[in-house]
Amino acid sequence: MTQAPLDHWFVNQILIHETALLRYLHRHWSHPDEVPDLRQELYARVYEAAAKGLPTQPKAFLFTSARHLMTDRLRRNKVVSIEPMGDFDPSHVLIEDVSPERWCGGRQSLHRLATAFDQLPDRCREVVWLRRVEELPQKEVAKRLGISEKTVEKHIAKGMRLLADALSAEAGTHPLFAHTVNSDDVQHHAD
């Protein structure tokens, strides 16, 4: 798409939602002074994506992109990258008994956890993040999200169950667990 039609689309389909977008960002982002930067980064992302292909539902795309941007920012602020930097060699760690296999396995486990976390329902993911990662008290999470403490408890329980289910389901297909005994093997050996 050429510049002029894309600019026209952006103004008519995206910028018209700026007031609602700002309300959304202020409601869900705990650092109000960062909202203008979030908005600009979001607009850049949406514009770049639209240059490759226009979304069929621009408003939904805008707000979904905003949610993803905030999640990315939270993750970036809270998690130290597990990717090696520069000439970092996994064997140069403080704990000498960490083998390359164990180091790699830890990275894979973190990746599986991040993937499972991203698949949680939106509200559930927010609650789990605030409660387990940011370690906010249950009462503060309820206040921040405008829900009851009982609802926070339910989201935590659901989130933990879904994460455990996702990780255990993946573990069943993981090569390290390929030799686990299943019920058919037990029955066969019992005969």
What DSSP assignment string belongs to 8-26?
HHHHHHTGGGHHHHHHHHH
Question: 127 near 141, Cβ under 8 Å?
Answer: yes
Please write the tens of the pLDDT for every residue from 20-58.
999 999 998 888 888 999 999 999 989 988 888 888 899
CA 175 to chain centre: 25
pLDDT of the residue at 13: 92
Contact residues for 169 (Cβ-Cβ < 8 A; gap 6+): none
Per-residue pLDDT reduced to its tens digit, 127-139: 888 888 888 888 9
pLDDT higher than threshold 80 for residue 111: no
pLDDT at 62: 92
Of 83, 76, 102, 75, nearest to 91 by C-alpha is: 102
The C-alpha atoms of residue 177 and residue 165 are separated, in whole angstroms, by 15
Give the pLDDT band of residue 100 (cuts 50, 70, 90).
low
List the domains of the chain with CATH numbers. 1-81 (1.10.1740), 98-179 (1.10.10.10)
- Per-residue confidence (pLDDT) for residue 189, from 0 to 100: 39
**126 contact partners, CB below 8 Å, separation of at least 6:** 28, 145
